[in-house]
Amino acid sequence: MDQSVNGNWQSFWTDLPKERGQAVWDSEPSVTATAHLPLFEQHFAVDLPVLDIGCGNGTQSAALATLYQRVLGLDFAPAAIEHAAALQAESGVEFRTFDLTDTAAARALHEELGDTNIYMRGVLHQMPDERRADAAASLAVLLGTTGHLFAAELSPTAGDTIKDAISQSADAVPKMRQVFKHNLTPAAWQEGKLEAVLTAADITIVQSGSLILQGTDTLPNGDRLDLPMTWVVANAN
């Protein structure tokens, strides 16, 4: 991936305390991976490994490991993997650095693991647009002929929600401000962009819908910062 983006993410995770819930998206699994289970469970063959791509500090990886036999948490920021290894040491998850835009690395991982199921949340929208095709191609390789993808990305209206939250006061949503501090600006997705990126890589959308990311940040009035997302279940058949 673009080295400036890599560096920004490395800086973000290096600065973040090694504690759960410090990132704005680090919600409890009960409202995230476990809550998403009904959307993808019927599609994920139980005998395939599950990859949590963009795992961050591994909160959702650990939850998935209670449901599936083998789970790997993957993130391209070494500092994120350090967080995950420290916080989820008892989870049984294997954490590795991995760049989704590196198609050669994806082929090597597929050679090692075979077909995989993939859980991915909030990854593609942060990438430079010119690298998304490579990322989607890697997803197709990792899925193979039997794996399924569950992907959730910020919806087109999420940018307005974030702008409104930040404008409410100088110290509103401090965890979101930490993201902006490291020049990690959430992308403004157009309607249908997620589906278009995937289908261009011959990944077939099986189901799609909307959900809410229950963030860990709060507005000045004490309300939680919730962000709208779009989700898909897809395969590379």
Place of tokens 């229950």: 214
What is the residue whose two structure tokens read 């490395």? Answer: 10
DSSP 3-state assignment of 51? Answer: strand
Domains of the chain listed by start with CATH number: 3-16+24-235 (3.40.50.150)
Highest mean pLDDT among 125-129, 148-152, 233-237: 148-152
- Give kind and range of the element (H or E) at residue 83: helix 78-87
Identify the DSSP state of 170. Answer: T
pLDDT at 15: 87
pLDDT of residue 187: 63
Please report the pLDDT score of residue 66 as a whole number: 96
Residue 21, classified by CB atoms within 10 Å of its CB into exposed (0-12), middle (13-18) or buried (19+), is middle
Residue 42: CB atoms within 10 A of its CB come to 11
Q: So what's the pLDDT on residue 129?
A: 84
Lowest average pLDDT, out of 86-100, 137-151, 154-168, goes to 154-168
**Nearest partner of 111 among 137, 142, 90, 149, judged by Cα:** 142
* 32 and 97 Cβ atoms separated by less than 8 Å: no
pLDDT tens for 125-142 read: 888 888 999 999 999 999
Q: Write down the residue that tokens 């991976």 correspond to.
A: 33
What mean pLDDT comes out for the span 210-229? 91
Looking at residue 175, its pLDDT comes to 87
DSSP string covering 45-64 = -TTS-EEEET-TTSHHHHHH
pLDDT for position 189: 76
- Can you tell me which residue has the tokens 């391209």? 76
By C-alpha distance, which of 178, 229, 185, 202 is closest to 16? 178
97-110 confidence digits (pLDDT tens): 999 999 999 999 99
* Of the candidates 88, 89, 107, the residue with the CA atom closest to the CA atom of residue 98: 107
Residue 2 structure tokens: 């673009």
Under the banding of pLDDT at 50, 70 and 90, the label for residue 93 is very high
Instruction: Give residue 234's pLDDT.
Output: 98
* Cα–Cα distance measured from residue 183 to residue 180, given in angstroms and rounded to the nearest whole number: 5
Mean pLDDT of the chain: 91
Q: In 3D, which of 123, 114, 118 has the Cα closest to residue 50? A: 118
Tally the C-alpha atoms within 13 A of residue 188's C-alpha that lie toward its C-beta: 6
Region 82-100: mean pLDDT is 95
Mean pLDDT for 6-24 is: 85
Whether the pLDDT of residue 2 is over 60: the answer is no
Across the range 190-197, mean pLDDT stands at: 90
> How large is the C-alpha radius of gyration of the chain?
17
Using DSSP bridges, classify how beta strands 204-218 and 224-235 pair: parallel, antiparallel or unpaired. Answer: antiparallel
Please determine, for residue 1, whether its predicted confidence score (pLDDT) is greater than 70. Answer: no
